[in-house]
Chains A and B, each alone.
Chain A
Amino acid sequence: MSIKLNALFSDSYVDISQYRDQHFKGNRYEQEKLLKQSCSLYVGNLSFYTTEEQVHELFSKSGDVKRIVIGLDKVKKTACGFCFVEYYTRADAEHAMRFINGTRLDDRIIRTDWDAGFKEGRQFGRGKSGGQVRDEYRQDYDPARGGYGKLLQKS
């Protein structure tokens, strides 16, 4: 029929971000291709105490959840504030990006981003102390994420 008026009906919440996984096996182009067709989301800024059940309840609001992988501290093997949520369809994941990203879970504003797909090993934090990188260097006190940043704690 007629044109779609691209200028107007943008869908920016669904766009891929600037983040690229440095450990991804493949080149940038391949990673971006996967991100653009992915049904998997990375979810960040979780409290260490947020449970799989809570994640499941919230993310089920945008569609049937296929799998949740809770992110773990590499050393302690305890939750360290992130997870992956995988949907059966891309459309459901897109709804999560539009309506769940930037809202609260367990009283914290969580952030979702496209993920190229879960691979064994990606469930572990990549910070030197075992948790997430962001918890190595931050200066603030966050009781839900182990208190002060790791560097600050050591000093």
Chain B
Amino acid sequence: MSRRRHSDESDAGSQPHKRRRTSEPIEIEDRLESLICRVGEKSTSSLESNLEGLAGVLEADLPNYKSKILRISCAVARLLPEKLTVYTTLVGLLNARNYNFGGEFVEAMIRQLKETLKSNLYSEAVYLVRFLSDLVNCHVIAAPSMVAMFENFVSVTQEEDIPQVRSDWYVYVVLSSLPWVGKELYEKKDVEMDRLLNQIEGYLKRRQKTHVPMLQVWTAEKPHPQEEYLDCLWAQVQKLKKDRWQERHILRPYIAFDSVLCEALQHNLPPFTPPAHSDDAVYPMPHVVFRMFDYTDAPEGPVMPGSHSVERFVIEENLRCIIKSHWRERKTCAAQLLSYPGKNKIPLNYHIVEVIFGELFQLPSPPHIDVMYTALLIELCKLQPGSLPQVLAQATEMMYMRLDTMNTTCIDRLINWFSHHLSNFQFRWSWDDWADCLTQDIEKPKPKFVKEVLDKCMRLSYHQRIVDIVPPSFSALIPADPVCSYKYGEEADSSLPGLAMATTVGNAIKNRASNEEILIVLKDVPNPNQDDDDDGGDGFNPLKIEVFLQTLLHLAAKSFSHSFSALAKFHEVLKTLTDSDEGKLHILRVLYEFWRNHPQMISVLVDKLIRTQIVDCAAVANWIFSPEMAHDFTRFYVWEILHSTIRKMNKHVQKIQNELDEAKVKLEKQHNKKQRDSGDEEDMEKNSEDEEGQLEEQIERLQEKVESAQSEQKNLFLVIFQRFIMLLTEHLVRCETSGVDLNTTWYKNGIERLQQIFLMHHVIIQQYMGTLENLLFTAELDHHILAVYQQFCALQL
């Protein structure tokens, strides 16, 4: 898709693929789209005169292009919420000149609102309702009819047997429109509005907030409470009401046109009944408001609006909308953020940094891919080199200080962001400022964070670089040199079992032995489990696995590609050796032992072993929870491996499901074709019957495959949750019996890692809720562990 640039209206002839300026309908429609989309951007003329001009142009085009103008206007209402008031003003001006257009626009908006609600596009629906409410300010919609719509929304709180997230949303959409229209509605209908707000207050008091702890970035209340989003918005609206609805932040171009607009005739919104709840409705999940700055943090310049001021809400909303519109183009996104209207009255850099981290740390997951935020922050630093890097450093310092109460999932993301960011700036950082972490137990959040950051920094550079960038006092936190540990090397004890065999195998591999030849060589390896081995030497033999794999990995240790090649070449041998569950577990153990200083290598090799079906996902899960891995249980790379494993499982199921769906579509097409062709020659009918038969067979096979894959998927989650429960219960029981405080660093990590499983894979897990509740998360479970499950359930109730 090529980008067409129009700096202003006179540029229309410059598109490279258009030969001449014509009045072809398609080109005029494109031009209209461009004019409407670009109004409000940087211009030599004032916004008001641009709006006036555009209104004139559109009015003139209404007779011929009305439906196109209607569609574009509806689209900008839905897709450009950060320019809400610019477009409501435009619609207001058009309505003043052409009453019918105003009426048709309102009708089109209502239709669009219905469609977005039906399609689970709730954030867009919010923008549409907000747009409608701002149209009250532009004299397009009569205030009483807007109040009536709000009343219908709030009455959803009286519905029975609905998920809380449904009524939450309808309350949210009313409250979040009030910064724009509260004043006008109160002036016209204060009695009704008071009643509305009372109803909302009552609802907010009785709703459940079980989900909150799971969604908070920090568990501490200080310095900034992490508030539930509706509670925060309510406080903001209350404050706005107390200030008599005086709101000074929102840019309102329509004020300049008041004399024109108040002459316009208003329309009444048709009565709008919220669509009934249905089972396939997916309402937005609740969230917690992320706050890291307040007015004390910006040292000079404009003051940051308070946490319960409506300005704060509007600024955050608008910045998030800008990111939502422009995330694909980081330079544009950064430029748009930095040219936020009204930026001179607020410490914009602080707001931007706070919003970006708020999104990055959002639970369950950020709105966009993590790496986008890293790239965006780098662009922002480039555009504001004199100010933004300092704010970012201040933010990083703050987050370091508060690591003790930060959610583990968020710490993971912070580690990834910080290390990647540093790698773009020659790893320059004032590490000495963090010397306080050196005196703490290395498992505590601060030293752990620094250690993991240095781990990641090393992956993006090399070991000596890390040694060079940190002060010598930090040596305990520097990662190990990522070299392998070959147990059959020159320093090996001569009595080590398998030593001689390792040399034999090594030579065989170097002499390009085939898989069969290697297996023959390995037949001579004795089995330390000799007593259990009664199937003639083909059963699980841990020594065979060790001798072969250690030697193979050693020969291929040079790079990832060498190791991948080795695994591919000897796939057959590996498959044979790991035929049993014990075999699969052991190969992972051997891999870990060999590469324990190189977690990155472990990760990529585990990935390859799964993809080549040498081990299955459940084996990886069991391995991670095995006693041998207890030492690394709190290390970041272990959880990266587990989540990557779960994702592979999920993608596998999805892939087969897609194949099944495609086959079903094909079959249906075949049916339709058959109906059309029926009555044709016998041959053709027979052919199509054959095809149909084949398709049906294929569908049956795929159906079985899907069921089998889903069963494997369910089993994987069961294994993981079971192991968590065992491990955590053990700890809790031990603490209770010995009277020790259960809240150790290890426990905090463990319980939050359990939470993380739910959060990162909530969509899939929701399918298996029944089984989980019946088998694992029963009432007999320790309440600490059960609480995690209950918080998760509360996310969609």
- Residue ranges of A at the interface with B (Cβ–Cβ < 8 Å): 1-15, 51-54, 56-58, 61-62, 64, 68-70, 95, 98-100, 103-107
The smallest beta-carbon distance between B81 and chain A, in angstroms, is 13
**Quick check: A10 and B3 within 8 Å, CB to CB?**
yes
Which residues 316-340 of B have a CB within 8 angstroms of A?
A: 325, 328-330
**Quick check: B3 and A12 within 8 Å, CB to CB?**
yes
The listed residue with most A CB atoms (<10 A of its CB), out of B6, B30, B328, B423, is B328
**Quick check: A2 and B459 within 8 Å, CB to CB?**
no
Binds A, one of B67-75, B152-160, B300-308, B525-533: B67-75
Which residues 100-133 of B have a CB within 8 angstroms of A?
A: 112, 115-116, 119
Q: Which 7 A-B pairs have the closest CB atoms?
A: A10-B3, A99-B375, A57-B459, A61-B371, A104-B424, A99-B371, A2-B75
Q: A5-B79, A11-B329, A62-B369 are in contact. Are A53 and B374 (CB under 8 A)?
A: no
Q: Is B461 an interface residue (CB 8 A)?
A: yes
Please measure, in the bound complex, the distance between the C-alpha atom of A104 and the C-alpha atom of B457, giving whole angstroms: 13
Cross-chain contact of A54 among B74, B112, B375, B461 (Cβ < 8 A): B461
**26 A-B pairs with C-beta separation under 8 A:** A1-B115, A2-B71, A2-B74, A5-B79, A7-B34, A7-B38, A8-B37, A9-B325, A10-B329, A52-B559, A53-B600, A53-B601, A54-B462, A57-B459, A62-B371, A64-B644, A69-B561, A95-B371, A98-B329, A98-B330, A99-B330, A99-B374, A99-B375, A100-B375, A104-B423, A105-B423
Which residues 594-652 of B have a CB within 8 angstroms of A?
A: 600-601, 604, 607, 644
Q: A54-B460, A61-B420, A62-B369 are in contact. Are A2 and B112 (CB under 8 A)?
A: yes
Please measure, in the bound complex, the distance between the C-alpha atom of A14 and the C-alpha atom of B33, giving whole angstroms: 23
9 other A-B residue contacts (CB within 8 Å) besides A62-B369, A99-B372: A3-B71, A7-B30, A7-B38, A15-B2, A52-B559, A52-B561, A64-B607, A99-B374, A106-B461
Please measure, in the bound complex, the distance between the C-alpha atom of A104 and the C-alpha atom of B329, giving whole angstroms: 18
Q: Is B494 an interface residue (CB 8 A)?
A: no
Cross-chain contact of A99 among B1, B369, B601, B604 (Cβ < 8 A): B369
B79 to chain A: closest residue by CB: A5
Please measure, in the bound complex, the distance between the C-alpha atom of A9 and the C-alpha atom of B112, giving whole angstroms: 20
Q: A8-B37, A62-B369 are in contact. Are A3 and B459 (CB under 8 A)?
A: no
Q: Is B556 an interface residue (CB 8 A)?
A: no
Please measure, in the bound complex, the distance between the C-alpha atom of A13 and the C-alpha atom of B331, giving whole angstroms: 10
Q: Which residues in B have their C-beta under 8 angstroms from that of A6? A: 1, 33
Q: Is B76 an interface residue (CB 8 A)?
A: yes
**Quick check: A13 and B328 within 8 Å, CB to CB?**
yes
Which residues 435-462 of B have a CB within 8 angstroms of A?
A: 456, 459-462
Please measure, in the bound complex, the distance between the C-alpha atom of A103 and the C-alpha atom of B379, giving whole angstroms: 10
Q: Is B378 an interface residue (CB 8 A)?
A: yes
The listed residue with most A CB atoms (<10 A of its CB), out of B75, B115, B325, is B75
Please measure, in the bound complex, the distance between the C-alpha atom of A51 and the C-alpha atom of B71, giving whole angstroms: 52
The smallest beta-carbon distance between B128 and chain A, in angstroms, is 11
Q: A3-B71, A10-B1, A98-B328 are in contact. Are A103 and B34 (CB under 8 A)?
A: no
Please measure, in the bound complex, the distance between the C-alpha atom of A10 and the C-alpha atom of B116, giving whole angstroms: 23
Please measure, in the bound complex, the distance between the C-alpha atom of A10 and the C-alpha atom of B330, giving whole angstroms: 11
**Quick check: A3 and B460 within 8 Å, CB to CB?**
no
**Quick check: A12 and B75 within 8 Å, CB to CB?**
no
B116 to chain A: closest residue by CB: A1
Q: Which residues in A have their C-beta under 8 angstroms from that of B456? A: 57
Q: Which residues in B have their C-beta under 8 angstroms from that of A69? A: 561
Please measure, in the bound complex, the distance between the C-alpha atom of A113 and the C-alpha atom of B436, giving whole angstroms: 44
A96 to chain B: closest residue by CB: B371
**Quick check: A103 and B460 within 8 Å, CB to CB?**
no
Please measure, in the bound complex, the distance between the C-alpha atom of A10 and the C-alpha atom of B5, giving whole angstroms: 10
**Quick check: A61 and B370 within 8 Å, CB to CB?**
yes
Please measure, in the bound complex, the distance between the C-alpha atom of A106 and the C-alpha atom of B461, giving whole angstroms: 6
**Quick check: A103 and B329 within 8 Å, CB to CB?**
no
**Quick check: B33 and A7 within 8 Å, CB to CB?**
yes
The smallest beta-carbon distance between B772 and chain A, in angstroms, is 27
Q: Which residues in B have their C-beta under 8 angstroms from that of A103? A: 375, 378, 424
Please measure, in the bound complex, the distance between the C-alpha atom of A69 and the C-alpha atom of B456, giving whole angstroms: 22
Q: Is B139 an interface residue (CB 8 A)?
A: no
The smallest beta-carbon distance between A41 and chain B, in angstroms, is 14
Please measure, in the bound complex, the distance between the C-alpha atom of A10 and the C-alpha atom of B375, giving whole angstroms: 17
Q: Which residues in A have their C-beta under 8 angstroms from that of B166? A: none
Q: Which residues in A have their C-beta under 8 angstroms from that of B372? A: 95, 98-99
Please measure, in the bound complex, the distance between the C-alpha atom of A95 and the C-alpha atom of B115, giving whole angstroms: 30
The listed residue with most B CB atoms (<10 A of its CB), out of A15, A52, A69, is A52
Q: Which residues in A have their C-beta under 8 angstroms from that of B30? A: 7
The smallest beta-carbon distance between B329 and chain A, in angstroms, is 6
**Quick check: B3 and A3 within 8 Å, CB to CB?**
no
Q: Is B4 an interface residue (CB 8 A)?
A: yes
A89 to chain B: closest residue by CB: B651
Please measure, in the bound complex, the distance between the C-alpha atom of A6 and the C-alpha atom of B369, giving whole angstroms: 23
0/1 string, B16-45, CB within 8 A of A gives 1 = 000000000000001001100110000000
Q: Which residues in B have their C-beta under 8 angstroms from that of A10? A: 1-3, 328-329
Q: Which residues in A have their C-beta under 8 angstroms from that of B2? A: 10, 15
Q: Which residues in B have their C-beta under 8 angstroms from that of A11? A: 1, 328-329
The smallest beta-carbon distance between A5 and chain B, in angstroms, is 5
The listed residue with most B CB atoms (<10 A of its CB), out of A4, A51, A104, is A104
Q: Is B426 an interface residue (CB 8 A)?
A: yes
The smallest beta-carbon distance between B643 and chain A, in angstroms, is 12
Cross-chain contact of A57 among B1, B424, B600 (Cβ < 8 A): B600
Which residues 413-432 of B have a CB within 8 angstroms of A?
A: 416, 420, 423-424, 426
Q: Is B584 an interface residue (CB 8 A)?
A: no
Q: Which residues in B have their C-beta under 8 angstroms from that of A98? A: 328-330, 372, 375
Q: Is B78 an interface residue (CB 8 A)?
A: yes
B456 to chain A: closest residue by CB: A57
Q: Is B560 an interface residue (CB 8 A)?
A: yes
Which residues 342-392 of B have a CB within 8 angstroms of A?
A: 369-372, 374-375, 378
Q: A61-B370, A99-B374, A106-B461 are in contact. Are A52 and B115 (CB under 8 A)?
A: no
**Quick check: B329 and A13 within 8 Å, CB to CB?**
yes
B561 to chain A: closest residue by CB: A52
A2 to chain B: closest residue by CB: B75
Q: Which residues in A have their C-beta under 8 angstroms from that of B600? A: 53, 56-57
**Quick check: B112 and A100 within 8 Å, CB to CB?**
no
Please measure, in the bound complex, the distance between the C-alpha atom of A106 and the C-alpha atom of B457, giving whole angstroms: 11
Which residues 642-672 of B have a CB within 8 angstroms of A?
A: 644
**Quick check: B426 and A107 within 8 Å, CB to CB?**
yes
B32 to chain A: closest residue by CB: A7
Q: Which residues in A have their C-beta under 8 angstroms from that of B34? A: 7
A100 to chain B: closest residue by CB: B371
The listed residue with most B CB atoms (<10 A of its CB), out of A1, A51, A52, A56, is A1
**Quick check: A9 and B371 within 8 Å, CB to CB?**
no
Please measure, in the bound complex, the distance between the C-alpha atom of A105 and the C-alpha atom of B644, giving whole angstroms: 24
Please measure, in the bound complex, the distance between the C-alpha atom of A70 and the C-alpha atom of B112, giving whole angstroms: 51
Please measure, in the bound complex, the distance between the C-alpha atom of A95 and the C-alpha atom of B3, giving whole angstroms: 18
A1 to chain B: closest residue by CB: B115
0/1 string, B483-495, CB within 8 A of A gives 1 = 0000000000000
Q: Which residues in A have their C-beta under 8 angstroms from that of B75? A: 2-5
The smallest beta-carbon distance between A133 and chain B, in angstroms, is 24
Please measure, in the bound complex, the distance between the C-alpha atom of A6 and the C-alpha atom of B112, giving whole angstroms: 19
The listed residue with most B CB atoms (<10 A of its CB), out of A2, A4, A70, A100, is A2
